[in-house]
Amino acid sequence: MSSNREARNIRNRYIRRLFGMILPACLLIPVSVSHADEEHVASACATLEFMAKMTALNLLLPANNDDVAELQLASQQMRELNRLACQPVVHDGGTRYQNTYANGRQVSIDLFNQAWYFPNGQVFTTHPGRSSAIYYPNGQLLAYGWTRGEETVFWPNGNPAT
C-alpha cells in the first residue's frame, strides 16, 4: 500500500514539474508572435517617419519642378497615417483591424500583415516591416526594397536622392 502511494506521489511530482515547464512555454508563444508583429509595425512607422523627413526637407529646399502644395498635402496625409497606425502604444482589435480615416477609407485590413494606405487611397507599403516597395502619397516610389538596404531612395518628385 505504501509503495503505491509513494509511486503516485512520485508520478504527481513529475506531472506537476511537467506542467510547470509546459504551461509557461505555452503562455510565451502568443507573446513572442505578438512582439514580432509589433516589430513589423514599428519598422513601418520608422519608414513613415523617414518619408516625412524627406518630404519636410523637400519642402524646405524645393527643386524647380516640385509642387509645394502637393508636398504639403503629402505631409498632411503622412501625419494622418502616423496618427492612426503608429501612435497607439498597443494595437488591439480596434486599432489593428478597424482603423479608418475621416473620409471612410480603411488604413489597413490588418496593420500587422496587410498593406497600409494613405487617406487618398494610395498604398504606402504592401508588407509592413518587410522588404517591399514604399510609396509616397502622390504615388511616387520612395524605395523598391526598403529593408534590404543599398537601394536607391527617391524624393517625392521621383528624382533619386542617393
Please, what is the Cα angle at 158 between 157 and 162, to 5 degrees?
115
Average pLDDT over residues 34-51: 81
Task: Tell me whether residue 55 is in a domain.
Answer: yes
Task: Tell me whether residue 101 is in a domain.
Answer: yes
Three-class DSSP category at 61: coil
Average pLDDT over residues 70-94: 87
Instruction: Give, in order, the Cα–Cα distances in Å from 49 to each of 3, 34, 100, 130.
Output: 69, 22, 20, 16
The pLDDT-based confidence of 27 (bands split at 50, 70, 90) is: very low
Residue 92's H or E segment, with its range, is none
Global pTM value: 0.74
Task: Tell me whether residue 140 is in a domain.
Answer: yes
Task: Tell me whether residue 4 is in a domain.
Answer: no
pLDDT number for residue 26? 45
Task: Tell me whether residue 9 is in a domain.
Answer: no
Residue 59: pLDDT above 80? Answer: yes
Neighbour count for residue 84 (Cβ, 10 Å): 19
Three-class DSSP category at 151: coil
Q: How many domains does the chain have?
A: 1
pLDDT number for residue 11? 64
For residues 151 and 147, give the distance between their C-alpha atoms in angstroms, rounded to a whole number: 9
The range of the structural domain enclosing residue 53 comes to 39-148
pLDDT in tens, 124-145: 999 888 788 999 999 999 988 7
Least trusted range by pLDDT, from 22-31, 88-97, 104-113: 22-31
Task: Tell me whether residue 69 is in a domain.
Answer: yes
pLDDT number for residue 23? 47
For residues 141 and 157, give the distance between their C-alpha atoms in angstroms, rounded to a whole number: 9
Cell numbers of 99, please?
Answer: 482603423
Task: Tell me whether residue 99 is in a domain.
Answer: yes
Least trusted range by pLDDT, from 35-44, 58-67, 94-103, 104-113: 35-44
Average pLDDT over residues 72-97: 86
Task: Tell me whether residue 102 is in a domain.
Answer: yes
Instruction: Give, in order, the Cα–Cα distances in Å from 142 to each of 13, 123, 155, 159, 162.
Output: 60, 12, 7, 10, 11
